Chain A
Amino acid sequence: MKTKQRDKIIMTFLGWGVAFLVFFPILWMAITSFKSEIDAITPSLFFHPTLESYTTVNERVNYFGAVINSVVESVGATMVCLAFAVPAAYAMAFYPGRKTKDLLMWMMSTKMMPAVGVLVPIYVIFQQLGLLDTWTGIIAMFTMMNLPIVVWMLYSFFREVPKEILEASRMDGATPMQQMRLLLLPLSLPGVMSTALLSIILCWNEAFWSINLTSVKAAPLTQLIVSFSSPEGLFWSKLSAASLLAIAPILVFGWLTQRQLVRGLTFGAVK
């Protein structure tokens, strides 16, 4: 009994410790953003809090423009992605062929290649098609980037839906579109939602392509952070303020949807 209690205390401390370790960079960034640039270079916890950095960031860049870009691009890409992935996953889950597994593996393998490997061809293609620094271009890029993982996730969620239910609906006269809209999506809604949330978060945090393929018009928040890093050397507190502003919306979004997200991600695994 005693040892059990002690174990519990140790585990609790360990858990908090790990959580703190993970959370610390964000905390430090938040603290730094409220310091003046002079205070920012010293790791002290005692300083006069100031909103100076935030004011500067707001003056120098169009924060709300970037937020809108981020929202349009991540939500837009997620919607386009789902439009392709739902039918694909439906077909693979309910009408598998002999090569379906191989196809899924191949799709996943494209994620294993470093993105920088295709930067030049993609850049040139985008340039030729006039897609650089446009919503269309970034949405297309994000869609392609997330398609494998979204198809994979939807595939595994759809497989949880008993085949007989769709067969019964076929007997009732449901077309494939009706099967997806009236049965598959409502029945795997937690899974589809968490897939969509994950896709939005991945798009929001994506930096490589958005930095390389946008400059001003379509620049999302990640681009905004970068603009504070190099030219005049590092200004820690401004960079922190910009970063915090960039991650704030998705942090709030993640907080609000975490129950959904966790449920979706463990759906099936614990069943």
Chain B
Amino acid sequence: MATVTLKDVRKSYGAVNIIQGVDLAIKDREFVVFVGPSGCGKSTLLRMIAGLEEITSGDLMIDGAVVNDVPPDARGLAMVFQSYALYPHMSVADNMAFALRLAGVPKAERDAKVGSAAKILQLEKLLDRKPGQLSGGQRQRVAIGRAIVRQPKVFLFDEPLSNLDASLRVQMRIEIARLHSELNATMIYVTHDQIEAMTMADRIVVLRAGKIEQVGSPLELYHYPANTFVAGFIGSPKMNLTQATVRGSHAGGVDVQLPGGGVATIPVEPRNATAGAACTVGFRPETLAMAPEGPMGGKVAVVEHLGGETLVYVDVGDGHLVTVKASGSTSAKIGDVVRLAIDTVEARLFDAEGQAMEPMNRRAIAGLATAAQ
């Protein structure tokens, strides 16, 4: 059992506020990913949970007990660092046993624990090596092994895969996900890579400039981003965010005028949308299709063939490119004039401040309960 709760947690260096009031409740055995652009404070937040950075104000609770002033080792956490931070002069086995050795655990017990962790991570043959003799992926596994040996309440990962090459990263991603289900542990994972966040998280916390932008399951964030920042950050290729103008609203939703002259009705609660107001419409590339009757129009600027699918970038005016995911066999060519049809149910409307308007008939996302804070 391990829950982590943050209550209005803040961090400032002098007048600079790095973390500006974070509230978050992480459930037992949950895999939570902090994601955001560099400099958003995600690593700092993780280090505050770890106890490596002081908390300026607010409460950090682990299993309900406030641990603001508890030293790192007494919090029952283990951390995997981006640079692995292995002890270079110690063997793999000594690296993994270091915490136990400091805690005065007898040698036989240490060896048994290291042995079982090594087994989980397939490190048995490497136990006598020094970190310098290992490959990047192996070092990463040792760093994870060092964390496992301590049987922590919570695992913390600080961008653990960013030093690995692309193929190894995919492999380690799967291993960490597998480990999460095997160890039944609470995990907090920091990354700037939204694909890692999407693939591994039970819940994603999107951070920007020291504030939480949105918390939710990957699909929730994907389908119902709370604002344009989340909309643009989650998903690859990115969601198209197109400037538009509100024409009016009615029971069926909000009418917006799109670039290229067409009008579409987006089924969202109109809230404070008034005619003439600026707004942003978000379309996922897969919800657009090239069709002669579509409300949006433009000229094909770039075509990327990925094999199974094709990304078509359409210039809808003023150089604003809209990405359309088309089939691999599409005949679109650069310079073609096309019209784009919109799946309005899947389109999202954001007000002038970039906040999402609540979609009507928000559907439940398969298998994942809404966990909005």
A contacts, CB < 8 Å to B: 162, 164-165, 167-174, 178, 183, 186-187
Contacts and interface: CB of A to CB of B under 8 A. Distances in A.
Contacts of B83: 162, 164
Interface in B65-104: 71-74, 77-79, 81-83, 85-89, 98-99, 102-103
Given A164-B82, A165-B85, A173-B73, 7 more contacts: A165-B88, A167-B79, A167-B81, A168-B87, A170-B71, A172-B98, A172-B146
Contacts of A183: 87
Nearest to A174: B102
Interface residue tally of chain B, by bracket? 20 to 34
Contacts of A162: 83, 85
B349 interface: no
A186 B89 contact: yes
A186 B86 CA distance: 14
Contacts of A168: 79, 81, 85-87, 146
Contacts of A173: 73-74, 99, 102-103
Given A173-B103, A186-B89, A167 B98 contact: no
A91 to B, nearest CB: 16
Contacts of B81: 164, 167-168
A204 B150 CA distance: 49
Nearest to B74: A173
A178 B77 contact: no
A173 B146 CA distance: 13
A171 B87 contact: no
Given A164-B81, A178-B102, A170 B87 contact: no
Interface of B: 50-52, 71-74, 77-79, 81-83, 85-89, 98-99, 102-103, 146, 150
A167 B150 CA distance: 16
* Chain A binding surface SS class: helix
A187 B77 contact: no
B72 A170 contact: yes
Contacts of A172: 73, 98-99, 102, 146, 150
A173 B99 CA distance: 6
Q: Which of B71, B83, B87 has the most CB of A within 10 A?
A: B87
Considering the complex of A and B, which 3 residue pairs feature the smallest CB-CB distances, nearest first? A173-B73, A164-B85, A172-B99
A171 B74 CA distance: 8
Nearest to B97: A172
B77 A171 contact: yes
B52 A170 contact: yes
Contacts of B102: 172-174, 178
Nearest to B143: A168
A183 B83 CA distance: 17
Contacts of A187: 88-89
Given A162-B83, A183-B87, A169 B98 contact: yes
23 contacts: A164-B82, A164-B83, A164-B85, A165-B87, A167-B81, A167-B85, A168-B85, A168-B87, A170-B52, A170-B71, A170-B73, A171-B51, A171-B77, A171-B79, A171-B99, A172-B99, A172-B102, A173-B73, A173-B99, A173-B102, A174-B102, A186-B89, A187-B89
Contacts of A178: 102
B52 A167 contact: yes
Contacts of A165: 85-88
Contacts of B52: 167, 170-171
A157 B231 CA distance: 47
A187 B85 CA distance: 13
A173 B50 CA distance: 12
B89 A171 contact: no
Nearest to B158: A164
Contacts of B89: 186-187
Given A162-B83, A183-B87, A171 B103 contact: no
A164 B158 CA distance: 11
B50 A171 contact: yes
A172 B95 CA distance: 10
A165 B86 CA distance: 6
A173 B51 CA distance: 12
B72 A171 contact: yes
A171 B85 CA distance: 11
Nearest to B47: A167
Contacts of B87: 165, 168-169, 183
B98 A171 contact: no
Contacts of B71: 170
Contacts of B99: 171-173
A173 B77 CA distance: 11
Nearest to B150: A172
Contacts of A171: 50-52, 72-73, 77-79, 99
Nearest to A98: B14
